[in-house]
Structure formats: structure tokens, C-alpha cells
């Protein structure tokens, strides 16, 4: 029996898919290269944005064709799917599961079970308060050996007015420190170089077992303390996290950004640069608060690269208010922004607002921000020319190696397949908007010899 998982959404969903794969393999399934070759297809979906929901509906049509060719094919929908979407989709899938249901599946021999065995009871528009974090105990089938996503918490208590996460993931629930550290230490022992800590509101991490933090730990804030602990693990090279809420960036968390293994990049979602809009979004900070926070962060770590998320065309956003977002963008000088045009999600507070910015106007604002981002990013990238950056290679294609620098810049250079999963010092020769072209620096060649690494 073969399975195939299609994953939509954020890194948290990707990480969940690694656990789903582990459950299926434990129960005798083998990975299939494509949905066409599978007996079981899992769609780990996200209905946090309308575009993501549209993709699920697009899939449904493709599955109908697949089922004509393979009548035995079973299809499961799982992940962050809102109750309303579940209700609409329930007849299109054989099973609809919550993420924490997968832990239960790991406890018995997984055959395509009777619908009664895995109940669809949660198909109703249920908002469960506290997710069952036991599914974190499933040992994932990591996609990469050299880099791993490690979820440390799930859910969110912030209730930003546009966001479906608190409804699909429930309230914040954190993994135990002991549990997280055991996973990270094991990963490091097996050669993992980079850890990405995940959580919908990652810096609101509140574990129950704080006694497991070492006595020598510099910090009291649990998230800062966790970063400190992970920074002590000898063979790890890089640590980062996503996504923090600006209001939870305490002084200690900011200080922890300077720990030696932290990457030189912070993703800090701002969403808008206008106080009125931020208030309607229920973000709990003003544009000034955000700018002050950026100043504080840059004081601690002057060359840190900042990324963000922005929604354009939020209900009631005037042209003037959008211009305030542009102003904030320029003041901060983000290196990258993930831009979204607002679309209402059922059940959220903003869904009750009048979605009064026409689609064409949303697109216009999106284009303006996109152009601004490209301009700023290119200018910033040009400053890397002549500099040496440290690159963890994660891809090889046609004689070229690709990887991220500590600043999360995509870097390309000539290399060999065997370089994937290793870190190289690369001198940047040319800068583009989304990629930096470079050459392995002589300095690193010497280092590589010392490491008996003959690929450089």
C-alpha cells in the first residue's frame, strides 16, 4: 500500500506532514511518488487564507478523476480546516481528521478504517479550546537530515480579527522543555545542523516543566530560555524560529537573538502600518510601537535582516491608511515581505466587517508594495557583493548549489551534489532581487580541508 501527502500552508503544516508520514510508514505504508500511484492520499490543508481554500477545491476536482481510475483510492483531509469548509467538503473526502487524531491512529494497525472508527464528529464547526499536543510525541519522518522543523507550541490566544488560526488550532498549548530538548539533541546527534522552532505564536511559549531549564540559563522568559538551552547543544550550527508576535518580543527574547547560533534574520509580522487598521485587526500594537521595537532589536543586533507579513485591502483601509503602511515599510526597510490581499475567513471577527476595498484596488496596493519590496531588496542585496556569507546548501541542480545564508538570503554557486547538507563560506559576486550569485571563498577551502571535507 502506498501513500502520498500533499501539504498546503505554513511550515507548521509541513512539520505536521512529517509526523503523518511517520504514522503511515509505521503502519506499513510506503511513500508514492505521486497521487496517481497512491492507494491513500492525504491532503494536509490550510483554510487560513481564501487562496489556500481555493486550492483544496481545485484538488477535489482532480481527485474525482483519480477515483474513476482507482476505485479503491481513499482520500483524507486534515490540517487547519475551518468548520465551514469541512462541512462543505465532507462528502468529497473519505475521512476528515484533526491533526491530533493522528496520534490515535499510531496506536492501532492502520487499515483504511471504517468511517465509524475515526469519527468525523469534529466536522461540525467545533472550536476546541486546548489542542492535544500528544501528537508531538510521534517521531517525525524528517524530510531533510541537515535541517529540521521542531514545533514547540500550537494554537494562538491573540484572535487577530482576520485570522482563523485560533479556530482551527485552538488556544495556545506548549510542548514540555524536556520533550523539545530531547528531540533537538537527537537531531543534532544525527547530524542536523539547522533547527527551526515553530509555533503560531512561537514567542508566547509557556511550557509546564520550567524546572527542566538549566540553573545556568541566563533568561527567565521561557522562550528566551529555550533559545539559550538550544544554543548550548554543541554540534548544532543554526537556530531560528517562526512566527513571533511583536507584542511578545520581550527584552530577554531580543537579547537571545544575539546568542551565537541564532541566524541573522527575524521574521516579524507587522500586517499594517496604520494605527486604525492595526486596531481593527486586533494586533495590540501601534505603528510607533512596532518602529520602537525594530529600533530596540537593531540596537542589540545592528545588521539583523527583517522580514514581515502584510495584508492589503483590509476592510475599511483607505488610500491614506495604505500609504501609512508604505511609510512604515520604508522606515523599517524590510528585506522581504509576504504580501496578502485580504479575504474574509468565516467565523472570524473581520468576516463581519464590510469587505469594501474592491479586488482591483487590493491588487493595485499589492503591486505597489511588491514593487517597493523589490526595489528595497535589490538595493540591500547589492551590499552583499564582495562579502563572504555562510551558506547551508539544501539543493543541487545542473552544477549549481543553492542554499540560505544566515540572513536567509538565497545563494547560488558552482558546486557538486555531495555538498548538499553542508555549510560553505561563499563570496558574493552578483546580486539580484531573489538570489545572490557567488563562489566558494578561499578562506573556507582551508577550513574544509581541516574538516577533511573534500567537496570544496
- The answer to whether 249 contacts ligand SF4 (rule: CB under 6 A) is no
- The answer to whether 280 contacts ligand SF4 (rule: CB under 6 A) is no
Least Å distance, CB 204 to ligand SF4, is 9
- The answer to whether 59 contacts ligand SF4 (rule: CB under 6 A) is no
Which of 78, 158, 264, 377 touches ligand SF4 by CB under 6 A? Answer: 158
- Longest Cα–Cα distance of the chain, Å, equals 63
Strand pairing category for 400-405 and 436-440: unpaired
The span from the CA of 409 to the CA of 403, in Å, is 8
Q: Which is nearer to ligand SF4, 227 or 350 (CB)?
A: 350
Nearest residue to 317 via CA among 270, 284, 273? 273
- The answer to whether 405 contacts ligand SF4 (rule: CB under 6 A) is no
Only one of the segments 84-92, 154-162, 231-239, 354-362 lies at the binding site for ligand SF4 (rule: CB under 6 A); that segment is: 154-162
Residues 6+ apart with CB under 8 A from 64: none
- The answer to whether 19 contacts ligand SF4 (rule: CB under 6 A) is no
Q: Which is nearer to ligand SF4, 80 or 426 (CB)?
A: 80
- The answer to whether 200 contacts ligand SF4 (rule: CB under 6 A) is yes
342 in helix, strand or coil? coil
- The answer to whether 156 contacts ligand SF4 (rule: CB under 6 A) is yes
C-alpha distances out from residue 48 to 43, 164, 348, 425, Å: 15, 5, 10, 38
Nearest residue to 43 via CA among 33, 25, 57, 29? 57
C-alpha distances out from residue 106 to 26, 109, 333, Å: 8, 7, 47
Residue 54: which H helix or E strand, with range?
Answer: helix 50-69
Which of 12, 38, 138, 165 touches ligand SF4 by CB under 6 A? Answer: 165
Only one of the segments 31-39, 153-161, 186-194, 422-430 lies at the binding site for ligand SF4 (rule: CB under 6 A); that segment is: 153-161
> Mask: binding to ligand SF4, 226-245, rule CB under 6 A, as x and -?
-------------------x
Phi, psi of 439 (to 5 degrees): -140, 145
- The answer to whether 163 contacts ligand SF4 (rule: CB under 6 A) is yes
- The answer to whether 166 contacts ligand SF4 (rule: CB under 6 A) is yes
- The answer to whether 160 contacts ligand SF4 (rule: CB under 6 A) is yes
Residues that bind ligand SF4 (CB under 6 A): 156, 158-160, 163, 165-166, 200-201, 245
Amino acid at each position: 500500500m502506498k501513500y502520498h501527502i500533499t501539504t498546503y500552508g505554513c511550515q507548521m503544516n509541513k512539520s505536521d506532514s512529517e509526523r503523518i508520514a511517520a504514522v503511515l510508514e509505521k503502519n506499513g505504508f510506503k511513500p508514492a511518488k505521486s497521487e496517481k500511484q497512491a492507494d491513500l492520499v492525504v491532503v494536509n490543508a490550510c483554510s487560513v487564507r481564501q487562496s489556500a481554500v481555493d486550492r483544496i477545491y481545485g484538488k477535489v476536482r482532480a481527485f474525482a478523476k483519480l477515483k474513476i481510475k482507482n476505485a479503491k483510492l481513499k482520500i483524507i483531509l486534515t490540517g487547519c480546516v475551518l468548520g465551514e469548509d469541512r462541512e462543505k467538503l465532507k462528502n468529497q473526502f473519505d475521512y476528515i481528521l484533526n491533526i491530533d487524531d493522528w496520534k490515535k491512529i499510531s496506536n492501532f494497525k492502520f487499515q483504511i478504517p471504517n468511517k465509524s472508527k475515526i469519527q468525523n464528529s469534529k466536522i461540525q464547526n467545533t472550536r476546541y479550546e486546548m489542542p492535544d499536543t500528544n501528537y508531538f510525541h510521534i517521531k517525525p519522518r524528517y524530510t531533510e537530515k541537515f535541517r529540521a522543523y521542531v514545533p514547540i507550541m500550537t494554537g494562538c490566544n491573540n484572535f487577530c480579527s482576520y485570522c482563523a488560526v485560533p479556530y482551527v488550532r485552538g488556544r495556545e498549548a506548549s510542548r514540555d522543555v524536556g520533550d523539545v530538548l530531547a528531540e533537538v539533541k537527537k537531531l543534532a546527534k544525527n547530524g542536523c545542523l539547522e533547527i527551526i522552532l515553530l509555533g503560531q505564536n512561537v514567542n508566547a511559549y509557556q511550557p509546564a516543566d520550567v524546572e527542566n531549564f538549566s540553573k545556568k540559563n541566563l533568561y527567565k522568559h521561557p522562550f528566551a530560555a529555550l533559545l539559550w538551552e538550544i544554543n548550548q547543544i554543541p554540534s548544532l550550527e543554526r537556530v531560528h524560529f517562526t512566527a513571533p508576535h511583536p507584542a511578545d518580543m520581550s527584552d530577554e527574547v531580543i537579547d537571545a537573538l544575539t546568542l551565537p547560533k541564532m541566524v541573522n534574520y527575524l521574521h516579524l509580522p507587522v500586517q499594517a502600518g496604520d494605527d486604525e487598521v492595526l486596531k481593527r485587526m486586533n494586533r495590540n500594537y501601534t505603528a510607533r510601537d512596532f518602529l520602537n521595537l525594530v529600533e530596540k532589536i537593531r540596537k542589540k543586533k545592528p545588521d539583523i535582516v527583517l522580514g514581515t507579513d502584510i495584508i492589503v485591502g483590509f476592510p475599511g483601509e483607505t488610500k491614506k491608511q495604505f500609504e501609512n503602511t508604505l511609510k512604515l515599510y520604508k522606515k523599517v526597510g524590510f528585506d522581504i515581505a509576504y504580501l496578502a490581499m485580504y479575504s474574509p475567513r468565516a467565523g472570524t471577527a473581520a468576516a463581519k466587517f464590510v469587505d469594501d476595498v474592491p479586488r482591483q484596488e487590493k491588487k493595485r496596493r499589492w503591486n505597489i508594495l511588491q514593487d517597493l519590496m523589490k526595489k528595497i531588496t535589490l538595493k540591500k542585496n547589492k551590499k552583499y557583493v564582495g562579502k563572504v556569507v555562510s551558506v547551508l546548501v539544501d539543493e543541487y541542480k545542473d552544477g549549481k548549489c543553492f542554499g540560505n545564508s544566515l540572513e536567509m538570503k538565497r545563494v547560488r554557486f558552482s558546486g557538486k551534489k555531495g555538498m548538499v547538507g553542508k555549510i560553505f563560506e561563499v563570496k558574493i559576486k552578483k546580486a539580484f532581487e531573489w538570489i545572490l550569485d557567488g563562489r566558494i571563498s578561499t578562506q573556507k577551502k582551508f577550513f574544509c580541508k581541516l574538516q577533511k571535507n573534500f567537496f570544496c
